[in-house]
Amino acid sequence: MQADYVIIGSGSSGSAVAYRLGEAGHSVIVIEEGGTDAGPFIQMPAALSYPMNMKRYDWGFQSEPEPYLGGRRLATPRGRVIGGSSSINGMVYVRGHARDYDTWEEMGAQGWAYADVLPYFKRMENWHGEADGTSEVSAYRGTDGPLHITRGPRNNVLFNAFVEAGRQAGYNVTGDYNGEAQEGFGAMEATIWKGKRWSAATAYLKPAMKSGRVQLYRAYARKVVIENGRAVGVEVNRGDRIEVIRASREVIVSASTINTPKILMLSGIGPAAHLREMGIEVVADRPGVGGNLQDHLELYLQFAAAKPITLYKYWNLWGKALVGAEWLLTGKGLGASNQFESCGFIRSRAGLEYPDIQYHFLPIAVRYDGKASAHGHGFQVHTGPMRSKSRGRISLRSADPKDSPKILFNYMSEPSDWEDFRKAIRLTREIFAQPAMAGHVKSEIQPGEALQSDAELDGFIREHVESAYHPCGTSRMGRADDPLAVVDPEARVIGVEGLRVADSSIFPQVTNGNLNGPSIMTGEKIADHILGRKLPRSNLQPWINPNWRTAQR
């Protein structure tokens, strides 16, 4: 088994890299431990709570007991299926804010500013926003890429009521948060097309395999094989055999923020003292491998509904059967949406240049694991701060490749995180008190109106905060002379030839919003770095609130 390029992982970035390398005429082998994405649990958008809770599709990771959350272990789902986490996620499409990428460049990721990444977002997108009444295709969007992006129908009155309540509270309404202006309230976008999940496997991997130049190899990647300082292949388990798949040009690790640092460390790339402790020979002492772990946390703020107009009426066996049957027969109906159809991005205070709080609105009160609220009809908003200062680490449990890594996020370890969350709760309550939403609110389910003081809200946060499943940063990109950087701005692993990383683990800082879009863009851009080419920079500028220094909205 040999190819020009060997990629570990068929997820958001890995599939995009494979597609572009194959398109350029190279032979590519993609190693993927997970299986097929066929079947309604993955393909039906409304069934999104199922695959991330199924062992068949998910690695089943958990954090270590989190010291600032009372020792709770938080679920850390990662896709174990073709398409990776793009096959089990919520399908929400958010590029992030323009300033996220300018910040990356300031942190040492030269060539990753907004002007550099915007052309790659445009290249990957097949945007259908204009069907939503947007009069013309925005210069900020792409319309002929592999990734279909659509907006939900917003038939439920609550979707527009939420946006209107944001406007009444004094915030902007944005026609396209992925275009010129992220800040404000508006329609949410999704990687859904013709009623089905449009994952990286569907958009990139399957078309690439049809060309014959890209092969999928079902195996468990153990480590990168490095000879004389150069990556020459990947050692894998296939059944009970250990094999080496050789790369004549490069090995690309696209195994996720959790598994990529694990594979690097098993290959001898990481903090030297930790590797020696595990009995692993040190190839490159990179103390940053596994560090800089970041995520978004969120709360579900839930409200009981004054009228029976929420999705709760379908939250029973008969209702789910009807929705599923309509979707199977027609590809339409409630099953064809992830139900995240409106959203908001706001700044928590004056003096912030761009938003730091995100909202996903959902017209039912329910958890990600599919447990509905006992209150019956209700709705909720998922909200949390976008730029927590807390940092964690991934480390090895042992030198056995089959062992899960240790995952410690150190969630809420910074005092500012608590302030930011309290602020998010209070600003959210204010939005739901606006006339557009107030008539729909019967009562506040959680936190509950009784909880008002800082201490009461902190207790609620500690007990109820959940991961938004946006881990990143554990193989941070930076200047080649930065001792804590793992890859340089070309995504090459510092200290090893012929080895790159292409996934969300290279993000210097978490972006504003969901990570699937930025992860696919990363794969698109790194493919061009590998091929020695790049798209011309954009000169489009984002909209920044002109009064940001003095006004919160």
Domain locations along the chain:
1-553
Residue 136: predicted pLDDT: 60
Residue 138: predicted pLDDT: 86
| 90 known member of a binding site | yes
Fold for the domain defined by 1-553: FAD/NAD(P)-binding domain (3.50.50)
Each residue's pLDDT expressed in tens, for the chain with a length of 553 residues: 999 999 999 999 999 999 999 999 999 999 999 999 999 999 999 999 899 989 999 999 999 999 999 999 999 999 999 999 999 999 999 999 999 999 999 999 999 999 999 999 999 999 998 645 554 668 999 999 999 999 999 999 999 999 999 999 999 999 999 999 999 999 999 999 999 999 999 999 999 999 999 999 999 999 999 999 999 999 999 999 999 999 999 999 999 999 999 999 999 999 999 999 999 999 999 999 999 999 999 999 999 999 999 999 998 999 999 999 999 999 999 999 999 999 999 999 999 999 999 999 999 998 766 677 777 999 999 999 999 999 999 999 999 999 999 999 999 999 999 999 999 999 999 999 999 999 999 999 999 999 999 999 999 999 999 999 999 999 999 999 999 999 999 999 999 999 999 999 999 999 999 999 999 999 999 999 999 999 999 999 999 999 999 999 9
Instruction: Write the CB contacts of 428 (distance below 8 Å, at least 6 apart in sequence).
Output: 301, 359, 381, 383
Return d(Cα 396, Cα 403) in angstroms, integer: 8
User: DSSP state, 205?
Assistant: I
Return d(Cα 48, Cα 50) in angstroms, integer: 5
Cα–chain-centroid distance for residue 252? 20
CB atoms within 10 A of CB 60: 14
| 498 known member of a binding site | no
Residue 133: predicted pLDDT: 53
Residue 392: predicted pLDDT: 98
- Hey, which bits of 136-229 come out as E strands? 147-151, 184-187, 189-190, 192-193, 196-197, 214-218, 220-227
Residue 130: predicted pLDDT: 64
Cite the active site residues.
470
Residue 373: predicted pLDDT: 74
Cα-based angle 224, 227, 230 (whole degrees, multiple of 5): 75
| 91 known member of a binding site | yes
Of 19, 104, 186, 80, nearest to 482 (Cα)? 104
